[in-house]
Structure 1
Amino acid sequence: MNSTNPKTYEPAPSRKVAFLGLGVMGYPMAGHLALAGHSVTAYNRTATKSIAWCAEYTGAGAPKHASTPREAAEGAEIVFCCVGNDDDLRGVTMGKDGAFAGMQPGAIFVDHTTASADVARELYAAAQALKLQFVDAPVSGGQAGAQNGGLTVMCGGDAPAFDAVKPTGMAFSKAFTLMGASGAGQLTKMVNQICIAGLVQGLSEAIAFGQKAGLDMNQVLEVIGKGAAQSWQLDNRGKTMVADKFDFGFAVDWMRKDLGLVLDEAKNNGARLPVTALVDQFYADVQALGGQRWDTSSLIKRLR
């Protein structure tokens, strides 16, 4: 069991839950559920990962691993999920081995994948037809947020389902908020990614400019970080960008996937996103430099 867990858990009723997808985010999120006293059955496409997860958290109860999403979901009150994209999400929910086939009427599926609003609405309707409940609940806070249990969760769906899930979801969250009807969580995450794209590009240009001007950029960042230029990105990525270090979890490939969702949605709703579209192409430049797995602050590499 993880002995360095920094999280203090609020009292909540113990639930029988499943967690599908033990990647960079899902692995620690599922761990927090176990440490908070919930009975967790885990599923991962690569079974060795779920076996290792059970071994790590065995002191937090009796975690189990399942060979299919359906098996993991059987008997669960809540099924949490964090996978890669729309197709991955359909793969773990639908079909004879999908979670929906194993869930009992009234059970709630909570999807933490950053996916399209369309797939959220599609699966919400499919769940309703099976007398299940579905909440789209993408997260912000990155790998560090997942590890320390401090994620921000943006939810779309029905209020009763949200209210039933929130006390359990707070095991890995600092904020768990209903934003509106099905799809609203995904749309809110798109707003988040639009903000981050512009912020990181601005920070990249500022640091590159300051270095060209011969300034001590670590000192500059300390000074401007106390004023109106302060942001999470400046506080957490500014000095690592100066140091040319880009191994902090949220990869360029993932950001391009997210911005693709944003730009597709903008085509549907008519929003104009000139800066976001430009930064998406800048991230394509970073990929061409070999930076597919560098973190998003590596935008500065194309300016050097």
Structure 2
Amino acid sequence: MSQTHVSFLGLGVMGFPMAGHLAQAGYAVTVYNRTPGKASAWLEQYTGQMAATPGEAAQGADIVMMCVGNDSDVLEVGEAALAQMRPGSVLIDHTTASATVARQLAKQCADADIGFLDAPVSGGQAGAEKGQLTVMVGGDNSVYEKIKPVIDCFARHSQCLGPSGSGQLAKMMNQICIAGIVQGLAEALHFGQRAGLDCSQVIDVISKGAAQSWQMENRAHTMLNNEYDFGFAVDWMRKDLSIALDEARRNGSTLALTALVDQYYAEVQKLGGGRWDTSSLLARLT
């Protein structure tokens, strides 16, 4: 594996540990981050190299992975890397971005005889650190099967779901589900508090039945304690929901609840909670 050169572009709360798992698995890893200090900090923990630009990082790489901010970042970093990648290599985008950008990059890669996968992840910072992410993949299945052992370094499950853009569309579904579940949980806790119940005890009971969810198991008690410092921020969730709502307008689907919860998150932002985690929907009710 040391002969397989993997470059990782973007060392945020997700990319930093993801790249770390690759290094620990024995791959030759080169990292790039817009803020060089992050790359230097990564090298203090893991074995690898750092590059000054995305293009420099991509030179000679068999696989280039990126996890950046939004559509414009994906295009800027992805195209800079693509310009230096060799035919037969693979570009993988782990950013949560639009399906439109995924298809655009897929075409550019195909023209250069480079494989491309859009592969957004779910599981949050904790999942990235533990190597337990879920990866939703769009693109050619043969390319996916080729690089799956690399993704397995930081994923508990990955799956190719269709042509380019399918991974991003699946991630939109993921965020739509989360938005509705968290809002339901917030309203239930608010209701219970107003009814004078010991909500912590109630959650211990109903989490054993049909109301159970990951959010209930992992966030209900912290929500009751007004603790909202658990990773995925409201600002990021609004970015993701905006992508989903834009796609819904294109494909004619109705996302009434998602649009409503998006506005509730806007209210949380007005409370100063842009960097609170997504369970902070309860804050606007108390």
Query: Please, which of 14, 32, 37 is the counterpart of residue 21 of structure 2?
Result: 32
2:66 is the alignment partner of 1:66: no
Report the counterpart of residue 200 of structure 1 in structure 2.
182
Percentage identity across paired residues of the two chains: 60
2:71 is the alignment partner of 1:89: no
- In 1, Cα distance between the equivalents of 2:91 and 2:42? 21
Alignment of 1:238-253 (within 5 A): 238-253=220-235
Q: Secondary structure at the match of 1:171?
A: coil
Report the counterpart of residue 8 of structure 1 in structure 2.
none
Query: Please, which of 59, 63, 69 is the counterpart of residue 78 of structure 1?
Result: 63
Q: Which moved more, 1:211-220 or 1:12-21?
A: 12-21
Alignment of 1:34-183 (within 5 A): 34-58=23-47, 63-94=48-79, 98-183=80-165
Deviation at 1:133, TM superposition (A): 1.1
- In 1, Cα distance between the equivalents of 2:251 and 2:54? 34
- In 2, Cα distance between the equivalents of 1:172 and 1:299? 29
Q: Secondary structure at the match of 2:18?
A: helix
Report the counterpart of residue 3 of structure 1 in structure 2.
none
Structure 1: unaligned runs, 5 residues or longer = 1-11
Aligned residues of 1:266 and 1:273 also touching (Cα < 8 A)? yes
Report the counterpart of residue 207 of structure 2 in structure 1.
225
Deviation at 1:156, TM superposition (A): 0.2
Aligned residues of 2:2 and 2:28 also touching (Cα < 8 A)? no
Aligned residues of 1:76 and 1:103 also touching (Cα < 8 A)? yes
Aligned residues of 2:119 and 2:135 also touching (Cα < 8 A)? yes
- In 2, Cα distance between the equivalents of 1:241 and 1:220? 14
- Relative distance call for 1:134 and 1:272 in structure 2 (3 A) is same
| Paired letter, 1:22 | L
Deviation at 1:15, TM superposition (A): 2.0
- In 2, Cα distance between the equivalents of 1:175 and 1:277? 29
TM (norm. structure 1) is 0.93
Report the counterpart of residue 297 of structure 1 in structure 2.
279
Aligned residues of 1:18 and 1:41 also touching (Cα < 8 A)? yes
Deviation at 1:274, TM superposition (A): 0.5
Q: Secondary structure at the match of 2:191?
A: helix
Deviation at 1:13, TM superposition (A): 7.8
| Paired letter, 2:220 | G
Deviation at 1:84, TM superposition (A): 0.5
| Paired letter, 1:36 | A
| Paired letter, 1:283 | Y
Q: Secondary structure at the match of 2:31?
A: strand
- In 1, Cα distance between the equivalents of 2:41 and 2:181? 37
Aligned residues of 1:15 and 1:168 also touching (Cα < 8 A)? no
Q: Secondary structure at the match of 2:169?
A: helix
Aligned residues of 1:21 and 1:45 also touching (Cα < 8 A)? yes
Aligned residues of 1:14 and 1:37 also touching (Cα < 8 A)? no
Deviation at 1:102, TM superposition (A): 1.3
Aligned residues of 2:10 and 2:34 also touching (Cα < 8 A)? yes
Aligned residues of 2:137 and 2:158 also touching (Cα < 8 A)? yes
Report the counterpart of residue 5 of structure 2 in structure 1.
16
Structure 2: unaligned runs, 5 residues or longer = none
- In 2, Cα distance between the equivalents of 1:176 and 1:38? 19
Deviation at 1:226, TM superposition (A): 0.2
Deviation at 1:14, TM superposition (A): 5.7
Q: Secondary structure at the match of 2:136?
A: strand
Report the counterpart of residue 264 of structure 1 in structure 2.
246
